Structures are given as structure tokens and as C-alpha cells.
């Protein structure tokens, strides 16, 4: 990785914690050449953009992700209901054909509450840490978390109402998520109780699917109503400590989405669909520091931007290997 990409990636890590992205101070000669060509051939670019404008976006990666997410959560349900003991427990802590697994954020909360390192819990997190370290931590959010799916469906309602000018999106300071992470960690230490687990919509929905509904679902419903009528995807964007934990885990992940500058029209379709549009700051005209730039660790690898891009300028990639189809 070049020095410019390394510097850019460090900026992306800072953005994960809430810092607003900034225009790069230095751009490589190769990227400058492409930027210069686009600036001086606006008519040609405009014609290409117009021809692409009416192409229907693909839903390939979205459909794959929905299938994987539904399958993972359904496996919990069937294992419990049919007593086949393939995947026992819930997303916070489980056992897959005898292998213990524990959600990283939940395990951290438990150890902070007990104020010592729990060996069995560490063993349970090892497999999970390796898995999401390889796939990209926040892949958990879009490919496994049940709240992500229902919030994505609720987002469609928000966008419909926004189109009718019945609601407007009220952005919140992204640094709030880091504040929440610190607050919930401190509460675990002070109270000796995993306060976050009591209100985590991920855990609530996972347990409700497996063991049956309870009053805690009213809290999940309240979050969805807030997101539909006030702030689009507020929990995942501005509050959820799980996303931050898994984002840190995925900092060195080899699986990422890579942006290619050359064919991009900068039409912004990718940013419109992205859960965390700050990771796509590099697609803004004049922001790419190299002809190819990997997205930052806060990217959920949901694939919506890949599906939305009319020119294939965004793609899945394994570092050091060829692209994923």
C-alpha cells in the first residue's frame, strides 16, 4: 500500500470514530491525470453518464446478503424448535456443532462487568474474532444482524415518505456512537451489569426469533418508528456500539470494497444507498488519492454501493487476490 493510501486509510479509521472526512492534501500523479482528464472532457463524461442513467441497478449482492442473513437467523430458530443442536443459543452467545462462539461486544461487556478476564469467554470469542477479522468486522452488521434487516426495510418507508415530503432526515453527530461505546463500557464496570445487552436490538430480536416475543420488542419498534419519521438508520449510524467494536476488528481485513476512479461518473448513487456514506467520501469528485482506493473499516460490505454503481467502479476484492464475483 502506498503512503498516500496508508494516510487515507488512517483518515478513514478516524472517520469511523466520528471525525468528518476531509479533502486530501496530496494526490498521486496517476490519480491527478484521471481527475484532469475528467475536468477537461465534461461533455464526453456527461454523454456517457446520460446513457447509463436509465440502466436498472442490480440487486445481486443485496439478494445474497438477505439470503445469508435470513439463513443464519433461521438456523438458530430451527435448531431450537427441532432440538437438532446444530446452532444453539442466540447471537450474543452460541454453540455451533460443539464450538463455542461469543459476540465480541457482548463478551467485552461481560468481562468489564465481572472486572476480570474469563478464560472460557475468551475461547468463545477466538473463532468469532478470526472470522470477522478475515471478512471485515462490520460484515456482521449487514450479513448477520437481524436488526439491520428490519431497519433496512423500515428505511424504505422513510425514503418513500421523504419523497412525498412528509418527513426529512435529521442527521446526528456520528461521534455519538463512540460516546455510547464508552458510556456502556463504563456502566458495565460501575454497575457490574451488562446494561447494553438489555437494550441491544440485535440481542432482543435474536432472542425473540428463537424463544418467542416479549415486551422488549416495544423498544425495537420505538427505534424503528424513530428511524422512519425522524432520522434515517439512526441506531446503526449513530448509536450502536457493536458496529464500532466490529469496525475495529475489521481494520486489517483482506476482504474489502475497492473504488476505481477511472470509470466513475461521480453521480452519487452509491452514497444515496450507503448505510455509512462517510466511507464513500473518496468517490466525491477530486477526493481519490490513487486510481484505486479501498474503502475504510466502517464499511459494512453490504454491497448496496456495488449494486448501485452503473459503471462497476465499486467492487468486492480480496487484498492480494482477484475480485469477488
How does strand 99-102 pair with strand 255-260? unpaired
In this structure, is residue 66 part of a structural domain? no
Place of cell 474489502: 256
Strand partners, 61: none
One domain, residues 123 and 198:
yes
Answer whether residue 178 is part of any domain: yes
**In terms of domains, do 197 and 286 share one?**
no
Query: Which residue, 191, 215, 248, sits at the end of a domain?
Result: 248
Question: How many Å apart are CA 55 and CA 303, to the nearest integer?
Answer: 18
Cα distance between residue 31 and residue 17, in whole Å: 27
List the one residue out of 33, 27, 21, 23 whose CA is nearest residue 3.
27
pLDDT at 325: 47
pLDDT of residue 146: 97
- Return the SS3 of 316: strand
CA–CA distance, 85 with 145 (Å, rounded to integer): 21
Backbone angles phi, psi at 43, to 5 degrees: -65, -45
**How many whole angstroms separate alpha carbon 145 and alpha carbon 94?**
14
- Residue 88, in any domain of the structure: yes
Query: Are 260 and 244 in a shared domain?
Result: no
What average pLDDT is seen over the chain? 90
- Give domain status of residue 62, yes or no: no
60 inside domain: no
Of the candidates 215, 248, 281, which is a domain's last residue?
248
Q: Among 231, 248, 265, where does a domain finish?
A: 248
Can you read off the three cell numbers belonging to residue 92?
Answer: 450474543
User: DSSP string spanning 75-132?
Assistant: HHHHHHHTT--SEEEETTEEEETTEEEE-HHHHHHHHHHHTS--HHHHHHHHHHHHHH
162 and 188 within one domain: yes
Question: Are 96 and 208 within one domain?
Answer: yes
Looking at the domain assignment, is residue 67 inside a domain?
Answer: no
What are the residue ranges in the chain where pLDDT is below 50? 323-325
Structural domain boundaries enclosing 279:
3-55+254-318
Residues 228 and 263 reside in one and the same domain: no
Please give the pLDDT value at position 57: 74
pLDDT of residue 43: 67
Q: What per-residue confidence (pLDDT) applies to 42?
A: 67
- Is residue 259 domain-shared with residue 228, that is, in the same domain? no
Number of domains in the chain: 2
SS3 content of the chain, % helix, strand, coil (to 5): 60, 10, 35
The set of cell numbers assigned to 171 is: 442527521
Residue 196 lies in a domain: yes
Instruction: Give Cα 186 distance to the centre of its chain.
Output: 25
Claim to verify: residue 195 and residue 109 sit in the same structural domain: yes
Q: What cell was used for 151? A: 431497519
Q: Are residues 42 and 167 in the same domain?
A: no
110 and 47 within one domain: no
325 located within any domain: no
pLDDT tens string 84-107? 888 888 888 888 877 788 889 998
The answer on 272 and 156 residing in a single domain is: no
Helices 104-114, 119-135: inter-axial angle, 10-degree rounding: 150
* pLDDT at residue 64, rounded to an integer: 97
Do 232 and 144 share a structural domain? Answer: yes
Amino acid at each position: 500500500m502506498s503512503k498516500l493510501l496508508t494516510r487515507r486509510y488512517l483518515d478513514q479509521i478516524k472517520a469511523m470514530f466520528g471525525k468528518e472526512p476531509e479533502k486530501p492534501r496530496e494526490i498521486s500523479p496517476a490519480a491527478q491525470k484521471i481527475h484532469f482528464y475528467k475536468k477537461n472532457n465534461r461533455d464526453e463524461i456527461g454523454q456517457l453518464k446520460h446513457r447509463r442513467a436509465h440502466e436498472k441497478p442490480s440487486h445481486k449482492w443485496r439478494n445474497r446478503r438477505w439470503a445469508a442473513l435470513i439463513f443464519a437467523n433461521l438456523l438458530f430458530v430451527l435448531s431450537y424448535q427441532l432440538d437438532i443442536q446444530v446452532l444453539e443459543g442466540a447471537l450474543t452467545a452460541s454453540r455451533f456443532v460443539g464450538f463455542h462462539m461469543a459476540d465480541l461486544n457482548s463478551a467485552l461487556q461481560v468481562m468489564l462487568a465481572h472486572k476480570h478476564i474469563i478464560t472460557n469467554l475468551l475461547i468463545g470469542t477466538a473463532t468469532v474474532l478470526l472470522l470477522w477479522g478475515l471478512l471485515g468486522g462490520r460484515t456482521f452488521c449487514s450479513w448477520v444482524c437481524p436488526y439491520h434487516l428490519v431497519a433496512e426495510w423500515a428505511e424504505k418507508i422513510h425514503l418513500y415518505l421523504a419523497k412525498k415530503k412528509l418527513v426529512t432526515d435529521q442527521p446526528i453527530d456520528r461521534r455519538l456512537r463512540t460516546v455510547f461505546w464508552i458510556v456502556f463500557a463504563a456502566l458495565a464496570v460501575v454497575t457490574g451489569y451488562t446494561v447494553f445487552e438489555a437494550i441491544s436490538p440485535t440481542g432482543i430480536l435474536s432472542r425473540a426469533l428463537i424463544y418467542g416475543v416479549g415486551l422488549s420488542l416495544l423498544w425495537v419498534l420505538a427505534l424503528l418508528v424513530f428511524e422512519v419519521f425522524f432520522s434515517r438508520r439512526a441506531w446503526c449510524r449513530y448509536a450502536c456500539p457493536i458496529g464500532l467494536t466490529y469496525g475495529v476488528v475489521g481494520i486489517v481485513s483482506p476482504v474489502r470494497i475497492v473504488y476505481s476512479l477511472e470509470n466513475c461518473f461521480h453521480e452519487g448513487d452509491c452514497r444515496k444507498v450507503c448505510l455509512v456514506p462517510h466511507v464513500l467520501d473518496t468517490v466525491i469528485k477530486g477526493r481519490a488519492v490513487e486510481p484505486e482506493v479501498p474503502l475504510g473499516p466502517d464499511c459494512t460490505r453490504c454491497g448496496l454501493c456495488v449494486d448501485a454503481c452503473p459503471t462497476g467502479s465499486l467492487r468486492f476484492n480480496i487484498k492480494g487476490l482477484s475480485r469477488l464475483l
